[in-house]
Amino acid sequence: MKICYYPGCTLKNHAKNFEDSTICSLNSIGVEVEELSRWNCCGTVFSLTTDDLIHHIAPIRNLIRVKEANYNKVMTVCAMCFNTLKRANERIKSDPESMDILNNFMDREEVQYEGDVQVFHLLEFLKDEIGFENLAKKVVKPLKKLKIASYYGCLLVRPKEIGFDDMENPTILDDLMEILGADSVDFPFKTECCGAYQTVDKPEIIADRTNRILTSAKDRGAQMVVVSCPLCAFNLDQRQKQTVEKYPEFKHIPVLYFTQALAIALGCPEETLRFDLNFIDPKPILKEKGLI
Amino acid sequence: MRINLSRKKIRDSFVDKVQELSGQNLLACYQCGKCSAGCPAVDEMDILPNQIIRFAQLGLKEELLASKAIWICASCLTCNARCPKGINIAEVIEALRQILLRNRKDHLKVEKLSDKEKEEIPPIALICSMRKFTS
Ligand code: SF4
Ligand code: SF4
């Protein structure tokens, strides 16, 4: 099987650990990944104002690229890209007048966009196309006795029409971690916003959120937290530096992309895990559990 | 805070503008407060999400456009998910930010970020912040 893949900007630099672990995991279960040969930034956020059509151009152009590559579906792993691409797509599909305006604006494109590309997330693919029970059979290194809290954040689950799990109590990541052999730890802050882009000019707000979210996961016994968004990862992992400055009693905890946990369980080599990009080193706990 | 209400403010085109940009019917709100109860950012807000809706119904333009809260909201959509009246509060807040941004009142001063910050902060955060906080 071969799937078309849209990486998004951050997976090519700060979140290379997200990309490499995704590709290795998929290859190891026999899925080939074809990255779009040309793509642009999706814009990271979906425009919430009714008249702001211009900002839907960026995501829609990517969907045109998917058509040009002869696919009718595209996979993303970044929660923000997923949300922006899928939401812009749904917005345009439900409004033919806007679709015409956008197509006219993009009159140098050789392909017209007709709402005919489907956007999906890796988690949906693993659950619905591969099947968690089949994935379980491919696990070579079960994440035994590792207590993992799954953090969903906002954009995998909200709004309802876009998300692929329960908005208030999603379980897809927890289910995946269980399939991989880990003990999943439920905690009340799994869909609480990390503060997102406030990290740029108000990092002190992020310190509060990170403290609240991670302390709750730790109190429930988690030894690490998994995420699906490079912005959540930056706030929950890198911003632990500011968190401990503001809250000296705060205790560090490793934050991984869920694909890094997946890649470990599927036996991917350590160079694809790229732990050098994780701020809080997950190696000690992984060594303790005999996983690396 | 002293608030002056007037028929003039309630009928001001500002109210229509907010409704138009957000696509929301402000009068549907019955002030249950559920949006504010679930908002993770209320600690830092001067006007809470349910109050933002009330202020917008009443055309309290100055108070809303000068508020800190509209720049604290991170569009996490928790309020939208929980409003029993189906109001998209985050869209109303976006409309308020847009009214200012469309008049070139940028909130983020990109030029104030140090080289170290620009290198350390991932593109996803920088682009997002620019999309939300600059015109
Ligand atoms: S949850 Fe909805 S109805 Fe209740 S106060 Fe907020 S906007 Fe109004
Ligand atoms: S979208 Fe904004 S107002 Fe609504 S819950 Fe999130 S931070 Fe609060």
Spell out the SS3 assignment of chain B.
CCCCCCHHHHCCHHHHHHHHHHCCCHHHCCCCCHHHHHCCCHHHCCCCHHHHHHHHHCCCHHHHHCCCHHHHCCCCCHHHHHCCCCCCHHHHHHHHHHHHHCCCCCCCCHHHCCHHHHHHCCHHHHHHHHHHHCC
Instruction: Flag whether B28 is in a domain.
Output: yes
* CB within 8 Å: B125 and A168: no
d(CA A41, CA A234): 18
Both B86 and B50 in one domain: the answer is: yes
Note the CATH architecture for domain A131-288. 3-Layer(aba) Sandwich (3.40)
Instruction: Report the pLDDT value the prediction gives residue B93, as an integer from 0 to 100.
Output: 98
Instruction: Report the pLDDT value the prediction gives residue B129, as an integer from 0 to 100.
Output: 97
Using a CB–CB cut-off of 8 Å, the residues of B that contact A are: 20-23, 40-41, 43-44, 72, 74-78, 80-81, 88, 90-91, 94-95, 98, 108-109, 113, 117, 120-129, 131-133
Instruction: Report the pLDDT value the prediction gives residue B104, as an integer from 0 to 100.
Output: 87
Instruction: Report the pLDDT value the prediction gives residue B2, as an integer from 0 to 100.
Output: 86
Residue B1 has pLDDT above 90, yes or no: no
Closest listed residue to residue B64, CA positions, set B42, B80, B48, B87 = B48
Q: Which domain holds residue B43?
A: 7-103
**Interface residue of B124, B129, B131, B134 to substitute, partner A, most A CBs within 10 Å:** B124
Q: What amino acid is encoded at B76 in this protein?
A: C
CB-nearest to A159 from B20, B74, B81 is B81
Residue A282 has pLDDT above 90, yes or no: yes
Both B48 and B95 in one domain: the answer is: yes
Q: What is the pLDDT of residues A166-222, one digit of tens each?
A: 999 999 999 999 999 999 999 999 999 999 999 999 999 999 999 999 999 999 999
Which helix H or strand E contains A260, and what residues bound it? helix A258-265
**Residues in contact with A222: Cβ distance below 8 Å, sequence separation at least 6, in sequence order:** A147, A148, A149, A185, A187, A253
Instruction: Flag whether B133 is in a domain.
Output: yes
Both B28 and B91 in one domain: the answer is: yes
Assign a CATH topology to domain A2-121: Glutathione S-transferase Yfyf (Class Pi); Chain A, domain 2 (1.20.1050)
Domain of B48, CATH number, reads 1.10.1060.10
Average pLDDT over residues B21-35: 98
Residue A103 has pLDDT above 80, yes or no: yes
d(CA B121, CA B135): 21
Q: What is the pLDDT of residues B59-109, one digit of tens each?
A: 999 999 999 999 999 999 999 999 999 999 999 999 999 999 999 889 999
Sign, CA torsion B52/B54/B56/B60: negative
Report chain A's terminal Cα–Cα distance, integer Å.
29
Q: What is the pLDDT of residues A263-274, one digit of tens each?
A: 999 999 999 999
Both B78 and B133 in one domain: the answer is: no
- Rounded to the nearest whole angstrom, what is the distance from the C-alpha of residue B62 to the centroid of ligand 1? 22
**Interface residue of A158, A197, A239 to substitute, partner B, most B CBs within 10 Å:** A197
Give SS3 for A108.
coil
Both B86 and B62 in one domain: the answer is: yes
Instruction: Flag whether B2 is in a domain.
Output: no
Range(s) of chain A covered by CATH 1.20.1050.140? 2-121
Predicted TM-score of the model (pTM): 0.97
* CB within 8 Å: B131 and A43: yes
Percent with pLDDT over 70 in chain A: 100
> Going by CA atoms, what residue is nearest to atom 1 of ligand 2?
B75
d(CA A231, CA A73): 25
A228 interfaces chain B, CB cutoff of 8 Å: no
Q: What is the pLDDT of residues A238-254, one digit of tens each?
A: 999 999 999 999 999 99
Task: Specify the range with the lowest mean pLDDT, choosing from A133-142, A190-199, B106-115.
Answer: B106-115
> Going by CA atoms, what residue is nearest to atom 8 of ligand 2?
B39
Which helix H or strand E contains A243, and what residues bound it? helix A240-246
Task: Using the CB atoms, write b or e for A82-112: b if 16+ within 10 Å.
Answer: bbbbbbbbbbbeeeeeebeebbeeeeebeee
Instruction: Report the pLDDT value the prediction gives residue B16, as an integer from 0 to 100.
Output: 98
Instruction: Flag whether B53 is in a domain.
Output: yes
* CB within 8 Å: B81 and A200: no
pLDDT class of B54 with cuts at 50, 70, 90: very high
Over its C-alpha atoms, chain A yields an Rg (Å, rounded) of: 19
CB-nearest to A44 from B77, B98, B128 is B128
Average pLDDT over residues A90-97: 96
Both B34 and B67 in one domain: the answer is: yes
- Rounded to the nearest whole angstrom, what is the distance from the C-alpha of residue B49 to the centroid of ligand 2? 7
Both B84 and B71 in one domain: the answer is: yes
Closest listed residue to residue A58, CA positions, set B95, B128, B71 = B128
